[in-house]
Amino acid sequence: MTSTSVPAPATSGEPLLITVAPTGAEIDKADVPQLPTTPEEVARTAVECREAGAAMIHLHVRDSEHRPTLDLPLLKEWVAAVRESTDLVVQLSTGGSVHDPLDKRLQVLDAEPDSCSITMGTTNFGDEVFLNPWPFVRDLHLLARDRGVAPEYELFDLGQVHALQRLLDQHGLPVGERVHVDLVMGVPGGMNGTTDALVAAARDLPPAVTSWSATGIGRSTIPVMFGALSRGGHLRVGMEDTVTYARGVAVRSNAQLVERAARAGVLAQRSPMAPDEARAMIGLR
Ligand code: KMH
Ligand code: ZN
């Protein structure tokens, strides 16, 4: 058999969305000083990550004491800081921290992001509970469509894959009729961060799903990254999800994680997509 008769992998050549989640709500600045927690730091991070291959940024905002907040003026300030420094697609977290009330989480959309996360069900989150009751999920889905905000449905568990089908059946498609998903894997309380779990989740995604990425928390970052690449998925990386680059080696910066994802993508013959391609892919004009 000659090399020309070997079929190319199904994913070969497809552009790769890299989303960076630079901050999150769980890591303490005092423990990890390189975590971006101010508008200036996040703007600098955004520029570096864009240069390294990211097309979208998933933002959690911090206050002047570096604590997670859903304060609306601060959300607006962070969105503006990223927009002034890059053309990245700006996704705001509606998950916030496990302590944020549901009404404040709905108000995140008042900061006018391009995209927002919507988690498809309540999940044990370490010793805490990440609350996402069905009426809240439904209201967020409907509000995002009203406002023209493209959701990223975050699935922490296989049951949430099924819940997404139920949401779309009952309430229809989001803006642009594109359905973008992120599999969040390896949260203590959610699905495993393994290739087997990734394949099961990807296999069962509703047919309406038009794109999906995967995120591996902590040490599941690497298996989830290679699993997603080989299964035709996109990638989310960042210090929200891991602050360890390798065993005993701290992450230096978010750009370091984006660079690694971009290099892995190139090995899989998938070049990082630009923000405009990402906008089209998730249903934004
Ligand atoms: N911080 C977690 C409790 C999201 O951004 O929508 C929820 C989270 C998911 O990070
Ligand atoms: Zn998040």
Q: What is the pTM of this model?
A: 0.96
Q: Is 46 exposed, middle or buried (0-12, 13-18, 19+ CB in 10 A)?
A: buried
Which of the two residues, 12 and 59, has the higher pLDDT score? 59
Q: Which of the ligands is closest to the CA of residue 155?
A: 1
Residues 6+ apart with CB under 8 A from 97: 25, 26, 60, 68
pLDDT of 13: 80
pLDDT band of residue 133 (cuts 50, 70, 90) is very high
The domain limits of the chain are 18-281
| Ligand 1 site, residue 25, Cβ cutoff 6 A | yes
Question: Average pLDDT over the chain, rounded to whole?
Answer: 96
240 CA to centre of ligand 2 in angstroms: 7
Ligand 1 pocket test: which of 28, 35, 60, 239 has the largest number of ligand atoms within 8 Å of its C-beta? 60
Q: pLDDT tens digit string along 135-179?
A: 999 999 999 999 999 999 999 999 999 999 999 999 999 999 999
Which one of 3.30.930.10, 1.10.1420.10, 3.20.20.70, 3.40.109.10 gives the CATH number of domain 18-281? 3.20.20.70
Q: pLDDT tens digit string along 194-242?
A: 999 999 999 999 999 999 999 999 999 999 999 999 999 999 999 999 9
- Nearest-CA residue for ligand 1 atom 4 is 95
pLDDT of 12: 66
Query: What's the rounded mean pLDDT across residues 65-88?
Result: 98
Nearest ligand 1 atom to the CA of 58 is 5
Distance in angstroms (rounded) separating the CA atoms of residues 141 and 174: 7
pLDDT of 1: 42
| Ligand 1 site, residue 156, Cβ cutoff 6 A | no
Query: What's the rounded mean pLDDT across residues 81-99?
Result: 98
pLDDT band of residue 285 (cuts 50, 70, 90) is confident
Q: How far is CA 101 from CA 28, 79, 130, in A?
A: 21, 21, 11
Judge whether 6 and 224 are in contact, CB under 8 Å.
no
| Ligand 1 site, residue 130, Cβ cutoff 6 A | yes
pLDDT of 4: 45
Distance in angstroms (rounded) separating the CA atoms of residues 103 and 108: 9
pLDDT of 11: 60
